[in-house]
Each structure stands twice: as structure tokens, then as C-alpha cells.
Amino acid sequence: MTTDHETPDKPPTAKLGDLSVPLVQPSSLASRYDVLAAAATNLPRAACAALALAWKGPNRPKARKSHDVLDYGGRVMDELGERGYHPLQIMGAALAAYHVTTDGLITAAEVDEAEGNSEAPGDSTS
């Protein structure tokens, strides 16, 4: 991942080709949870939606925001590809933005609990 670490006076940034994209966690809790939920279906599209939502500064994708996170992320991905960015560059920046966008929504304990509850059932003894 190509992300500069956040300091108190410097927000995190993502590298997209020659651009250094400033990332700010979106203020909408609903949008942040929508991105998190969409990632279970299609992480690349959800991450690209997160990139557009968290991108603060010039050259932000022009794709129109949609309540359909996967559609929005796909349009952002296509736009950045049309601008000439390589898919790996797009995904590096998008994943950095995904982490900024979803930070604080779930705890490590909640992840551990969910993983413990998602194991396949054992063999039946009956």
C-alpha cells in the first residue's frame, strides 16, 4: 500500500501515479458503513468508492456519487483508468482510502468474534 502515515498536522495521503492524494475520513457515518458492507461483495469497487469519498483536494474523480456504492466505485475505477492510471496504482490508492474510510467502525474484538462464529459446523455426532 502506498500511504504516508498520518501525523497530527498532516492527514494521510495515498499515492496515485505522480499524485499525492490527501485523504480525510468522510463525515457521513452511513456512507462509511455502506463502503464497509459493499466490500463484502466487491472490495475493489468499494475501495474505489472510498477513494472518491475520502479524496480531499484537486483532481478528485468527477463520477457522480450514488447510494449504490458498487456502481459508484466502478464508475470511479473506470474514470481513473481512463485518465491513464494503471490498475495497481488505482487499487493501491483505493485500499489506502478504504482503511481511512472504515477506520474505527469495527473493533479487533468484533472481528475476532465474527471469525469465531463463521467457522463451518463440525461433523454431526448423530
Let me know if residue 20 belongs to a domain.
no
Let me know if residue 54 belongs to a domain.
yes
Its pTM stands at 0.81
Let me know if residue 45 belongs to a domain.
yes
Output the pLDDT for position 118: 56
Let me know if residue 100 belongs to a domain.
yes
Let me know if residue 13 belongs to a domain.
no
25-71 tens-digit pLDDT: 999 999 999 999 999 999 999 999 999 999 999 999 999 999 999 99
Let me know if residue 121 belongs to a domain.
no
From the number of C-beta atoms within 10 Å of its C-beta (0-12, 13-18, 19+), residue 79 rates as middle
How many structural domains compose the chain? 1
Output the pLDDT for position 49: 98
> Which three three-digit cell numbers place residue 50?
472510498
More confident residue, 114 or 2: 114
Give the domain range for residue 83: 3-7+28-104
